[in-house]
Copies of this chain bind each other. A is one copy, B any other.
């Protein structure tokens, strides 16, 4: 005992070695953005491990956000994370326009629906009121970033569907209907993708993503639009600057 201490890190599991290797390759830039990672089988042979172990390692790297899988085409290096300042704008499109992000919108579906209880509460309308509903896929440089479902109070935006929906609806509502956003209620959480979302985002089902919900209010505090985005988790970062309201003791002196 104590003769072979040179083999320092032998506690490492096989798939952790692979993870570390892939991480290095990606972080060092040897594998640039959107470059293909070795396949499960290739890694298995190269490291002398079974394909299933190689697979676990690749899935871990995927979870880590360093790589993304694209159906049966293979796995690729994730692009750099992008930040979305939720306290400055309610429209990601408006946010993205300034920087050159190569944003593209694909319309997946549009329909006219009746508000259910949950939507009615969020949009301060009666249950059964007419709403526009449309689903869109947002791509950054050709790569899926998030899926958005949006609900708009119908009577405020007559003939909304006659306009092009491949643009910022927030800007559209402001320009065409004189309805500028004034404030927003936002919720962010992590959850698993359902089958449809996974398909659109090119991810395996049950992958985790980040959901961002927002209710947009006009200057009078009336909600007119509710949106629900589900992002590829490795892609997004949300920032905000918060000014704190007066709390229990309105500290005299300053302020």
Partner of A207, one of B63, B236, B242: B63
Does A116 reach chain B (CB closer than 8 Å)? no
Q: Which of A26-34, A68-76, A189-197 contacts B (4 or more CB under 8 A)?
A: A189-197
Question: Of A81, A206, A220, A243, which is in contact with the most chain B CB atoms at under 10 Å from its CB?
Answer: A206
Q: A188: which of B188, B207, B241 is its contact (CB, 8 Å)? A: B188
In whole Å, how far is A230's beta carbon from the nearest beta carbon of chain B? 12
Q: Interface extent on A, as a size class?
A: 35 or more
Q: Which of A118-126, A139-147, A154-162, A175-183 contacts B (4 or more CB under 8 A)?
A: A175-183
Q: Pick the contact of A190: B210, B220, B242 (CB < 8 A).
A: B210
Query: Could you say which residues of chain B place their CB within 8 Å of the CB of A243?
Result: 182-183
State how many copies of this chain the complex holds.
Answer: 2
Residues of B contacting A65 in the complex (Cβ-Cβ under 8 angstroms): 190-192, 208
CA distance A5 to B112 in the complex (A): 32
Cα(A255)–Cα(B181), bound, Å: 12
> Which residues of B are found within 8 Å of A220, using beta-carbon distances?
254
**Residues in B neighbouring A189, C-beta threshold 8 A:** 81, 210, 236-238
Q: At the interface, yes or no: A245 with Cβ under 8 Å from chain B?
A: yes
Q: How far is the CA of A180 from the CA of B254 in the complex (A)?
A: 10
**Contact bitstring A230-255, B, C-beta under 8 A = 1, else 0:** 00011011111111110101010111
Chain B residues with CB under 8 A of A129:
none
Known interface pairs A63-B206, A206-B63, A208-B233; A90-B191 also in contact (CB < 8 Å): no
A249→B240 CA distance, assembly (Å): 22
Chain A positions near chain B (C-beta within 8 angstroms): 19, 60, 63-65, 81, 83, 86-90, 94, 180-192, 205-210, 219-220, 233-234, 236-245, 247, 249, 251, 253-255
Give 4 new A-B contacts, CB below 8 A, not counting A65-B192, A87-B242, A187-B237.
Answer: A63-B207, A86-B240, A89-B244, A182-B254
